[in-house]
Structure 1
Amino acid sequence: MKQLIKKVVAVMLTGAAILFSYSTANAQKSEIQQNETELEDKKMMSSVLHLKIKGMHCESGCANGIDAMLKEQQGIIKSKTSFDQSSAVIEYDPILISEEEIVSLITGRGFEVEVVTEKGDIPQD
């Protein structure tokens, strides 16, 4: 009788462990799907700003400095400034920050900025 009880308890514990593992895995999968959906929603709401920037003297101080400054701003999703190309491509959330604010932040660092409307005018990654 004791061995039967031990077997029943072992089966019940194994079943409980399987159910717990399954529910944990589903919760993690659900969280990953939610994060992917939120990221997709942000991408759909984002805008891309292409800029020509004059007055940069180097990659490390000027171009990287612009990117570092922009990335600290709420609403900037991604920023890639190139000294070699005298340009920047900035992905941003227009609800949180405007094109004018972005341009103002860069000109405030002493650079001349021109918004590029034709994508052919600026190299793509």
Structure 2
Amino acid sequence: MIGLHKELFAVLLTGTTLAFSGNTASAMDQKNENQIEFKIQKEMTEKILHLKIKGMHCQSGCANGIDTMLKEQKGIIKSETSFDKSSSIIEYDPKQISEEKILSLIKDRGFEVEVVTEKGASVNG
């Protein structure tokens, strides 16, 4: 009798799990679709700026200082500046901050800045 109760409980539990998992799967699929759609829309509006920066003397003060300053600006999503490579990669929302403003902010700190095109050529900024 106890064995029968265990089997019945297992069947009920499995049926309940299947019933819930069907609904959960649909909800999760919808959530994933919404996240993917949001990510695509977000990526369509964000831009990445590749810069060559001259005049940095160290990572901790110069490069990290640029990153800290930029991250405080509205519209800057990500900033990674490297003293060793004399470069910076900045992800930003052009609806909130312009490329010109980013270049100006870095120049105001005393650095020379050049925009690097996708082909690797520098464009004076």
CA contact (8 A) 1:50 1:119 kept: no
Find the counterpart in structure 1 of residue 77 from structure 2.
Answer: 77
Number of aligned residue pairs = 116
- With the length of structure 1 as denominator, give the TM-score of the two structures: 0.69
Cα RMSD after superposing both structures: 2.8
- With the length of structure 2 as denominator, give the TM-score of the two structures: 0.69
Q: CA deviation at 1:98?
A: 0.4
Q: CA deviation at 1:83?
A: 0.9
**2 CA distance for matches of 1:110 and 1:90?**
18
**1 CA distance for matches of 2:49 and 2:25?**
40
**2 CA distance for matches of 1:77 and 1:64?**
15
CA deviation vs aligned residue, 1:22-73 (integer Å, no higher than 9, x gap):
2123222322232222122222222222222122111122212222332333
Find the counterpart in structure 2 of residue 20 from structure 1.
Answer: 20
Where does structure 1 lack aligned partners over 5 or more consecutive residues?
1-6
Alignment partner of 2:78: what SS? strand
Find the counterpart in structure 2 of residue 105 from structure 1.
Answer: 105
Identical amino acids, percent of aligned pairs: 62
Show the 5 A alignment for 1:1-125.
15-117=15-117, 119-121=119-121
Where does structure 2 lack aligned partners over 5 or more consecutive residues?
1-7
Amino acid at match of 1:34: N
